[in-house]
């Protein structure tokens, strides 16, 4: 293999059998279950990387079912998103993500810098309840519930929230263990269609775990929940701040 061939084909690892295909990445019938809760503001400030700024002491705990996604297949993920501001522009910072499929773990970390770890989230309807459970190994670390489709929501505000920017801290180490890439990345969802959105009474419990520390941002008060069905494309990102420059 010539050097030119390496450069031409080197978009992901392994070189001759990449863990994921090139984008764009389209998601059909993507299902969100998002619970917003109030947390300890000091604990929140401690995990938001500058130059991002905290707006309110709020966390959004998400469960997302992706039954049909380009290159990644059928999988589920869960995690915490923090509302932030970057140079006056409001968006969401992805603090933690846990999912059950290798391809989107590899792509998410390598391309955008999503903070993804292997775990076992589940989102499903059980009788009259929409339920989400996140397990790290066999141990449950988050349990969320919502009354199923108690109230239909207008899709306009939901679409607006999905189109807001999202921020990630991308870290790629050098071969000696020092950071070679340390960047703040911004991306947007594209070509979004909201097929339905609902709310209902909600509950959320987080449990201590050494390697999945979601409970480090404790639930002080559940503020509300939303259930969304949508189609969308995950847009590629842009670097908005280089910590090593």
| Active-site residue (options: 7, 90, 116, 170) | 116
Whether 116 is catalytic is yes
Distance from the Cα of residue 207 to its chain's centroid: 19
For residue 241, give Cα distances in angstroms to 49, 86, 150.
Answer: 11, 10, 42
Query: In which residue are the tokens 């049909």 written?
Result: 68
**Phi, psi (degrees; rounded to nearest 5) at 167:** -125, 145
- Known catalytic residues are 116
């Amino acid at each position: 293999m010539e050097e030119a061939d390496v450069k031409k084909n080197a978009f992901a690892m392994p070189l001759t059998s990449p863990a994921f295909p090139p984008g764009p990445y389209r998601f059909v019938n993507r299902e969100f279950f998002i619970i917003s809760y109030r947390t300890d503001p000091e604990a929140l400030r401690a995990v938001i990387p500058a130059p991002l700024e905290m707006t309110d002491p709020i966390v959004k705990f998400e469960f997302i079912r992706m039954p049909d996604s380009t290159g990644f297949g059928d999988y589920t993920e869960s995690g915490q998103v923090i509302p932030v501001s970057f140079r006056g522009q409001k968006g969401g910072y992805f603090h933690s993500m846990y999912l059950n499929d290798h391809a989107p773990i590899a792509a998410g970390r390598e391309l955008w810098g999503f903070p993804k770890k292997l775990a076992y989230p589940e989102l499903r309807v059980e009788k009259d309840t929409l339920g989400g459970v996140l397990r790290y190994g066999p141990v449950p670390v988050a349990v969320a519930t919502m009354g199923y489709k108690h109230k239909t929501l207008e899709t306009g505000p939901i679409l607006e929230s999905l189109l807001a920017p999202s921020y990630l801290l991308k870290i790629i180490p050098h071969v000696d263990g020092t950071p070679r890439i340390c960047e703040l990345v911004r991306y947007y969802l594209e070509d979004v269609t909201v097929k339905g959105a609902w709310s209902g009474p909600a509950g959320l419990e987080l449990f201590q775990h050494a390697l999945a520390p979601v409970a480090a941002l404790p639930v002080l008060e559940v503020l509300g929940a939303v259930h969304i069905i949508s189609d969308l494309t995950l847009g590629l990102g842009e670097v908005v701040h280089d910590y090593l420059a």
